[in-house]
Amino acid sequence: MNKTICLTGIALGVTAVVLGAFGAHGLEKLVDANSIQTFETGVKYQMYHALLLLVLGSMKQLPEASKKMIFYFLLVGIICFSFSIYLLATNSLSSFDFKVIGLVTPLGGTLLIIGWSIFGYRLFKHFD
């Protein structure tokens, strides 16, 4: 599981760099400044959590079952949060109205909060 967690963190980190470059250079003439800032928020959160996955996958202190649960909360949270933000920020470029998936963003944020909370709880419980 550690290898999967780390490889996922690496893939999400690479994707965040690519999307960050696209947001900074490819979107500047296509969407307004507010949309670019929104897009960058998705990139930042994706990168933060990619790094967290690298830390999680490298930790020996937590049991595998805890890591697995945290991993799934974070992964689904990243997909729901960041990727819905990417779609919402580029909504004007598509004929589909991505605003109908707007509720996915707070769901993703909630999953990220749960993932962090479980991580913190399990980590502090380990050190007792």
Q: What is the pLDDT of residues 15-39, one digit of tens each?
A: 999 999 998 888 888 888 888 999 9
Mean pLDDT, the chain, rounded, equals: 91
Per-residue confidence band for 41, with pLDDT thresholds at 50, 70 and 90: very high
Q: How many residues does the chain have?
A: 128
User: In 3D, which of 123, 119, 117, 113 has the Cα closest to residue 81?
Assistant: 113
pLDDT at 120 over 90: yes
Give the domain range for residue 25: 2-126
Separation CA 44–CA 56 (nearest Å):
18
pLDDT at 43: 96
Longest Cα–Cα distance in the chain: 54
User: Tell me, what CATH number does 54's domain have?
Assistant: 1.20.120
Query: What's the pLDDT tens digit per position in 59-101?
Result: 988 999 999 999 999 999 999 999 999 988 888 887 777 777 7
pLDDT at 128 over 70: no
Q: Flag whether the pTM goes above 0.85.
A: yes
Task: Kindly write down the DSSP assignment for every residue of 92-128, as one continuous string.
Answer: GGSSS-GGGGTTHHHHHHHHHHHHHHHHHHHHHHHT-
pLDDT at 121 over 80: yes
Number of domains in the chain: 1
